[in-house]
Chain A
């Protein structure tokens, strides 16, 4: 039982690649464009091209392709469900029947639809995981804060949101360590967590949750005090040690992705080939 060591926070894989060095804002932007593209494409050829370019990006980022597959593990069930539901209840009335299972009919159109929707999910996850693999949590919050800055006028507390996010990230390992320690302390007093029915197990969590909450509140208090002691008063007029700055590679990334998206949208709505 070594909780801390089994849970990795985020999925950041530090490498020295061009993709890693891109400005986080660029990566947020490009990832958003990728999502749009994924939803705009409606044929397998498009997805084939997209998949190929994603593979290229993974190679460029020096992330083993196995990691792309690993990112799919948590959504395996969702993927299966989506596939099955689309297969049987696609809502397509017409079609060439392939298999008949009692009242259920699988048409080739439904099969192709199910495959397509599943592929869409896979691509979405793979595209976003490329982003999380190559962007450290800190870079991510920095990028978010900077992107939200223009919205401050309409009351979006960008700095505060980013600060909360980085504090939350910072404390995940601490809280995990604490959970482990408290669990062991209660086990030393004869507690068991894997025994009995669901209700008993839920009750058995109480001796862990109460101390955990108490200490989380205490930590929050102490952190707030420590921040105030160093005259923290929000993002107003605050300077940063590492200023985000766009480089030539960011320009390249933006131009390529905006151009590709534009071409795609144009071909979709203007009926170009």
Chain B
């Protein structure tokens, strides 16, 4: 009984962390069709922003939820103005450019923070479920992920800004004809995507030992989740993160963490063979 609760929490946590890792990429890649290979480095910078802020005496939750997203969002803004905006619609070129950016950011982080592992400890104590101890921070991640999904839905669906953003992503020429500047809207969207990546890196920072190359660990999972999700932003993110999180945890508990990772990748391959357009290419069509 206790164990099944623990397993349930771990599964929810796995899904939530996949949602967090992929949300920023889903916005940048899913909405703007920019392949951001520096996504992992945006997360890494979110982590460093948090740790630096905490070391300067900022409250850890403020550092994670405010400082890191804004810092990384601003970095994203600069990157968009200097690099990305020249490359819209050139899928392969953005890949090359952002890969270069990722190397650049790793270099800069190494120069500033050194090539050693840093970290902060989790701000929430563990607690027990029956005879089991569980990481209280898992719940925080689950809550943040839920809030994030609801926030994205509300903004995209019920606000004028969300409507304009969606419209621009579908037909930027029509949006321009209606008097909106696609250039500005892309810029704002890229800012939001970067901020989400920064948030993910910040929230996950207390769980890991951070090094400048940490981003590499996330990038593959994020891309798999976003691509398997398909064209719908939120529904795609939720369905693929849910599926992969479950598969990963079931095999992890049943066999071993290595098999869990293998199962995640195998299920992604099978899924894309059966549903080449991603989950939401076939189901939940027309949903957000």
Q: Do A and B bind each other?
A: no
